[in-house]
Amino acid sequence: MGKVLLAAPRGYCAGVERAITVVEEALRRFGPPVYVRKQIVHNTYVVRDLSQRGAVFVEELGEVPEGALVVFSAHGVAPAARSEAAARRLRTIDATCPLVTKVHKEAQRFAEAGYEILLIGHPGHEESEGTAGEAPDRVHIVDPQHVGPVPVQNPQRIAWLSQTTLAVDETLAAVDELRRRYPDLADPPSDDICYASQNRQEAVKAIAPRCDVVLVVGSVNSSNSCRLVEVALTAGAEHAYLVDSVADIDSTWLSGVETVGVTSGASVPEVLVEDVLRWLALHGHADVETVQTTAETIRFAPPPELRVKPASSPPTAPRDGPL
């Protein structure tokens, strides 16, 4: 009988839970359609479920009818998007993770102090683009996997920030390389990697050396899920695979395998992990041991627009700006 090491913490973080609740509550209070700019969180199952309940996901605000209700995703948006929403009289609810908002404020403060900012993050990712939009003429996005020279104007007046969902070790390696090139590089006032990303990475590090295979449940566009695969391999797992759902598991991965590790990214509902555990049990791995490295107690309050008790009926006329 094969063994399963189940990492904890795993799955939903406080920011993801808050963002999904925002869309659910908006649908309940105001009824569909509720538009969402980009994916509310990077998970196929979650997006499909909310779509079936009346959420409409769009890439750009130009796809939202004037005066309609739109939710900004957990990854954050640049000020330009907020201005566009106001100009089109869209009613808005901001589901940006508070930890991402913290990085935005750090970017604002550094820019106001005259610094150029080296933002360690993945080019094209919504979070990096949103943070860069706080000071587009002063932010340089630095791919942590390809750190090279950055065309800064004053090497004595630069600082670094990071995307919250990166691997901790990867980020620190990128900072070391940047500091080698730019000795005067200033640090952010606090660590930017989100607590949930760090906790999930530490949990994977705890199980990986004992595993022949690690299955990370998460979608391919989820940065923190992809990082968990990398962390598992670096920490000693012989193989690690990203699976969006149980349908992605290849039974040949278990050939000759005694111990399977299981975890999930911060945007993954627990139901998908339960499906994987049932599948593993049917394939000879029913002995499950939970390996818990820390307990998470953080909760985030809902955005101001949803803290007020709803009226008996939703407003009939659109209002400018936030609800």
Compute the average pLDDT of residues 20-39: 97
Annotated catalytic residue: which of 116, 127, 129, 230?
Answer: 127
pLDDT at 314 over 80: no
pLDDT at 256 over 60: yes
Give Cα 315 to chain centroid, integer Å: 32
Active site residue 127: yes
Give the model's pLDDT for residue 190. Answer: 85
Lowest mean pLDDT among 104-108, 195-199, 213-217, 306-310: 306-310
How many C-alpha atoms does 95 have within 13 Å on its Cβ side? 27
What's 85's DSSP letter? Answer: H
Identify which of 229, 209, 232 has the alpha carbon closest to the alpha carbon of residue 219. 229
Q: How many CB atoms lie within 10 A of CB 153?
A: 8
As a whole number of angstroms, the distance between CA 271 and CA 283 comes to 19
Q: Give all strands of the β-sheet with 139-142 in edge-to-edge order.
A: 139-142, 116-120, 158-162
The type of residue at 275 is D
Give the model's pLDDT for residue 309. Answer: 64
Its pTM stands at: 0.91
Give the model's pLDDT for residue 307. Answer: 83
pLDDT at 84 over 60: yes
pLDDT at 80 over 50: yes
Phi and psi torsions of 294, nearest 5°: -165, 165
Compute the average pLDDT of residues 225-235: 97
Give the model's pLDDT for residue 311. Answer: 54
Residues 6+ apart with CB under 8 A from 215: 240, 241, 243, 249, 260, 261, 262, 263, 276
Compute the average pLDDT of residues 235-256: 97
Give the model's pLDDT for residue 310. Answer: 55
